[in-house]
Amino acid sequence: MTLKGKTAVITGSNSGIGLGIARELARAGADVVLNSFTDRAEDHALAAQIAAEFDVAARYIAADMSDGDACRGLIAQAGACDVLVNNAGIQHVAPVDEFPVDSWNAIIAINLSSAFHTTAAALPMMRAAGWGRIVNIASAHGLTASPFKSAYVAAKHGVVGLTKTVALETAEEAITCNAICPGYVLTPLVEAQIPDTMAKYNMSREDVIKKVMLERQPSREFATVEQLGGSTVFFCSDAAAQITGTTLSVDGGWTAL
Ligand code: NAD
């Protein structure tokens, strides 16, 4: 499988899942465009490292995915977008009647509306190129709910709906649109929560992971960013050319329960 000559834009890719996906797409030969809202030397260094490691072109473009114009600007600045991975996302946890309005608006903007804006900007480029792949990083929470995550669950269900609609609108073209629904993934964000939870419950690291974090994940294992990268590369392959408008759960059995 080679993606040589293709350009992949991955939103929210200076850490965690997005960075893992960018690395696997680069390993498959794609030129990659990394993104987040910061514009630090270390962000650009991530792109330089990928370029050197996988012998591809790699750039970092700062753009705030909470701003629709900036989302469209990211795609315009990329100049090409054969593979679009909508990954940027944030979380806030609170009961629905206490949920801060600013947090609701930010989650809907970053986790859902950004995918609308980038897709709208990227589709004309994909049509001109005669080929395209859109991979939306939803969540197990795109298919099922948990209390206190109203905005996140609503946004991720919205991403799954957007995925199906875009798939139907592009069904007769060599463009596919699918969603990946991860369960818990051990990203730096999740890793950082482990010490506090160990202290709070007076538990070992292993117990915090298996009994608290992975309580709903039957495999009792985290999914990895490499596995999510591999799933994304699969969606870009010829084997997946007739797979569109669907969700791929990478959740250790969570949504089978
Ligand atoms: P993360 O915090 O490591 O990554 C989120 C990325 O989004 C970062 O690169 C961050 O800089 C970027 N981002 C945040 N706000 C942004 C903004 N306004 N503009 C541009 N970029 C922005 O978290 P992650 O775990 O890697 O999450 C990545 C995606 O995977 C999210 O959409 C998340 O909902 C989803 N997801 C994560 C898990 C998990 O267990 N980690 C599970 C299911 C789904």
pLDDT, tens only, 211-238: 989 999 999 999 999 999 999 999 999 9
For 92-129, give one letter per residue: b (16+ CB within 10 A) or e.
beeeeeebeeebbeebbbbbbbbbbbbbebbbebbeee
176 Cα: distance to centroid of ligand 1 (angstroms):
23
pLDDT, tens only, 45-97: 999 999 999 999 999 999 999 999 999 999 999 999 999 999 999 999 999 99
17 Cα: distance to centroid of ligand 1 (angstroms):
7
Distance linking the first and last C-alpha atoms of the chain: 34
Tell me the backbone φ, ψ of residue 31, rounded to 5 degrees.
-75, 140
**Ligand 1, CB within 6 Å, residue ranges:** 12-18, 36-37, 64-66, 87-90, 110-111, 137, 139, 182, 184-185, 187-190
Domain 7-183+223-256 is found in CATH 3.40.50.360 = no
Mean pLDDT of the chain: 97
Domain ranges of the chain: 7-183+223-256, 186-222
Count CB neighbours of 237 within 10 A: 14
Tell me the C-alpha distance between 104 and 96, whole Å: 10
In the annotation, is 152 catalytic? Answer: yes
Task: Please name which of 24, 33, 25 lies closest in space to residue 58, comparing C-alpha atoms.
Answer: 33
